[in-house]
Structure 1
Amino acid sequence: MTQPAPVVFLLDVDNTLLDNDRVVADLRAHMTQVFGAERQERYWAIFENLRDELGYADYLGALQRYRVENPHDPHFLEVSYYLLAYPFADRLFPGALDVIARFRGWGKTTILSDGDVVFQPRKIERSGLFKALDGNALIYIHKEQDLDDVAKRYPAAHYVLVDDKLRILTAVKKIWGNRLTTVFPRQGHYAHDPVVLVTYPPADVTVDGVGDLLRYDLKTLIEAGTAT
């Protein structure tokens, strides 16, 4: 049996380490240029329907479904290339890599993300996050439902979870209790949704941006979780 580490850091990707809202805005602009406004809107309607169905974002899967509806539109190839070649490293939030380096100095650190089996790993690799974390990355369909597997792979006395979704932070806190410090970077559209902010309790630690975590020491982070 692997002895539990004193602390393990679990880091979300989209709108936590990487500005995914900016990625989506760039993709919308590119699709409008390639497909036209009407078909661009249709793609995103398919995307949202597929997300409701699967429980996670599947950009390439939505593009597949778009092609079924438009089998003679050759432009989907250009959009596919655009997605696969996108410069994700340019969309990391300021300080993201520095925070990773700081956390790794304190304990084992890994990505904990949701997503599909092709595009999400591609995003993690091309952003430089995979290399920065020496390949430590977990990608689930619903990560909050796979905490037993997370704990098996990364056993720890205490966890620090950084995520832009209060829903996720609340769900994991209910299961792990004071073994967990929840950290909420207020980045991206989910983090500023007024309905979300009044629906879920505040995280143990709230920061404006992930880079603000450089102001925290390990003792403060752990005590913020154990005090709740």
Structure 2
Amino acid sequence: MKPTLYHCRNARSFRPLWAMEELGLDYELINLPFPPRALHKQYLEINPLGTVPFFTDGRTKMTESSAICEYLGRMHGPTDLVVSPDEPAFGSYLNWMYFSDATLTFPQTLVLRYEVLEAKSRRQPQVADDYRLWYSGRLRAVDTHLEHSMWMAADRFTMADIAIGYALLLSTVIPPLENCMTSTCKEYLSRLKARDGFKRAMKRQKETPVV
């Protein structure tokens, strides 16, 4: 079967969507309403977590966005989008891949939930403020790195840029996080958004109807 990605527009599933466009793959995209576990309950039969992404290609089933990017690069290579173990930047590449979700996207989701998505009676301003500061502090590592490099690893565009780039993209669509972005990070994100693969991914998610 062709690779199939269950996705919500602008959610973490944008990472593997973008990766597949960069790889030039033929794939199926299934656009779900957000949050899918509440608005498309049949999805729980496919992914009991009720989260996106959910990816399958007939050989495997995966739910972690950065891991899916790495898998796609390994399975559909050789490609410069992944860094191989024999390259000096391999450790740095892996670190940024894990950092992207565990350290950057995690606090973003708490700000999104407790300052934007929850009903006003359930919002938690202190939680949102604390995790906004968390995100801003962790983002300094990205900013410092980008002061000396165009890309996150190996002096070229890789899956690590997709992984980190998505977190920066997300902060531009969550109003409480917009001011966390430094000029260096904004310039980097502009480079990423200029890529044809990014543009195709944005077009695909926009044009694919929500089920």
TM-score after normalising by structure 2? 0.34
Larger strand proportion of the pair: 1
Which of structures 1 and 2 has the bigger CA Rg? 1
